[in-house]
Amino acid sequence: MLKGSLVALITPFKGDAVDEKAFQKFVDWQIKQGTHGLIPVGTTGESPTLSHDEHHRVIDLCVEAAGGRVPVVAGTGSNSTDEAISLTRHAKEAGADAALVVTPYYNKPTQEGLYQHYKAIADAVDLPIIIYNIPGRCVVDMSVETMARLAKHPNIVGVKDATNDLARPLKTRLAIGPKFCQLSGEDATIGAFLGQGGHGCISVTGNVAPKLCSQMHEAWQRGDLKRFGVLRDRLMPLHEALFVETSPAPVKYAASLLGKSSSDVRLPLVAATPAAQVRVRKAMEQVGLI
């Protein structure tokens, strides 16, 4: 089962291109800092503005750099079922350990449409699938009932829950059982999510504070609630600052302060404003990262 601090990786750019060298160095640094799993080409990795060739290449680079040291969960979602199947097939061929598949955005499928979408992907590719449920970006919200129905498929093994509904992980646990992997998509509420039956977090903050994030989860796993609380509280200003503007602009600026990436993002996103940069820098200083 996936657990602990998994990081939704940024994709560094150099001019108009993916900075392949910086990305692989970033993956290696993440693992050495204690990150428990890697998620290339999710939304934080700017998958909407990567070409298919770039998307494939980033997954290839991540698998290569990880070298089997930690699981790689490749982002392969799309609002086209055929496209999601194609991306998931590539992830399997590349050697990814699982796929993170976002609910179809813009189309607004019904619950039956969601079920058929994920079933088609799971039937087509023999790779563990994590459902990514994020109503705030995709408009649709997969119900617990639909998720329980999908969980009967052997290839559908968990959820990245970005609903910010803290009753949801408990309801999901009761409906599906404790072996269904539940990963939060919200850094700021991780304590409550774990307390409600969750297993870990797919983190944005982990891009720039990987050691602190991994140590926090390890404290939870060994039952050291005092240490967990200290780290949870310490990280909170950073969780807030990294979403002061649309992600990943703030976290890429934060990564640039550490020399891990340029701060460049692709249109229609724009770089963090001066006001956002001040907020991010202050949080990085407060947490002790710079």
Catalytic residues: 132, 160
Distance of alpha carbon 60 from alpha carbon 252, whole angstroms: 21
- Dihedral pair phi/psi, residue 283, rounded to 5°: -65, -40
CB atoms within 10 A of CB 106: 8
Sign of CA dihedral 200, 202, 204, 206: positive
4, containing H or E segment = strand 4-8
**Structural contact between residues 276 and 249, judged by C-beta atoms closer than 8 angstroms:** yes
DSSP state of 48: G
User: Which amino acid is residue 286, in one-letter code?
Assistant: Q
Of 125, 129, 42, whose CA–CA distance to 86 is shortest?
125
Residues composing the chain: 290
